[in-house]
Structure 1
Amino acid sequence: QVRVSYDGRNGQPYVPLGRLLVQDGELPADGVSMDSIRNWLEAHPDRMMSVMERNPNYVFFRRDDGNLAQGPKGAFGMPLTAGRSVAVDRSVVPFAMPLWVETKLPYGAGQPVSWDHLVFAQDIGTDIKGAGRADLFTGWGATAQSVAGNLHAHGRMVLFLPRPPADSAAQ
């Protein structure tokens, strides 16, 4: 195994492959997941590159000699914690802010399971725009990959703001 870390992007807009495959009639709108996209690409090697090239957005990575047992480093330069770190739009949510998240996660082949947890804004996402948007770091390994690749649930997110200091002149 080789550990890699985010190293930049080309600044072009992101075009989701799942959306393209739905528009082309290749996948049903309610059947888009990481697995269905990967399966389609593997089943159509002759068309794979032409579909992928319709997304002009490229992300670049660099080799990272950090500890493979730790999560990737977030915007603070510290390892992210599976199930507790989220990437946010920094113009809306300040770094390190605690957030309460209520959603459903797709564990296994069954129905999505309620997931209500305290998380922290420890990373940014260039394609995460606006309030109420976040990317949950689910970890690494097969289970985390499956959960992240099949997560489509909406939910509720509450930002915990510190109480402003008391006005000493009013006392």
Structure 2
Amino acid sequence: MALPLRELYLDALELFTAEALAAADSIGLPSACDGWTIADVVLHVVATQRSNVIAPLERTADPVGPTSERADLPAVRAIGAWERTAREAMTIVDACADDEVALLYFPTMDLVMHAWDVRWGIARIGLASPLDLPDPLLAFAEGLPSRVHDEHVRNDVVFAPALTAPAGASRTAVVMAWAGREV
């Protein structure tokens, strides 16, 4: 049975947090996102969670907006920024009204994809094995191709063109190849 979106979001938040913390000593390594370090990915996720979860559900102005946080924060402080953001997001999502849960779809997708991107950065040099998503998040990710339209996600901002996963690739790798990641 599929988890409700609020629970999926909180699971994705936990997964991304675990991956960011595991990569904390390797924050300058390249990620799976072309041209981005792990720090860049972490700071991007800080920005997307602040603008898509914290600000809309908190209903107050975001005092440290996503653009200023990413542009002004040194890479070595990315993990601290993420930890603060994750705590705020968890508190807000735990308390959000049921009619606001639909707002969590994109942020959940962003957390899942970028958790994989962070792990890729340390797995490619042998510091970890490739990330296989936990079953509920894998089911969510496998459903993305039927829920999003290519013309809305195939661009410089969301997903690169779909790639073909190698024969025998894991289910997670197949989803990531669909999302334009080299697996």
TM-score relative to the length of structure 2: 0.26
Q: Whose Rg is larger?
A: 1
Q: Which has the higher strand share?
A: 1
Q: Which has the higher helix share?
A: 2
Where relative contact order (Cα < 8 A, 6+ residues apart) is larger, the structure is 2
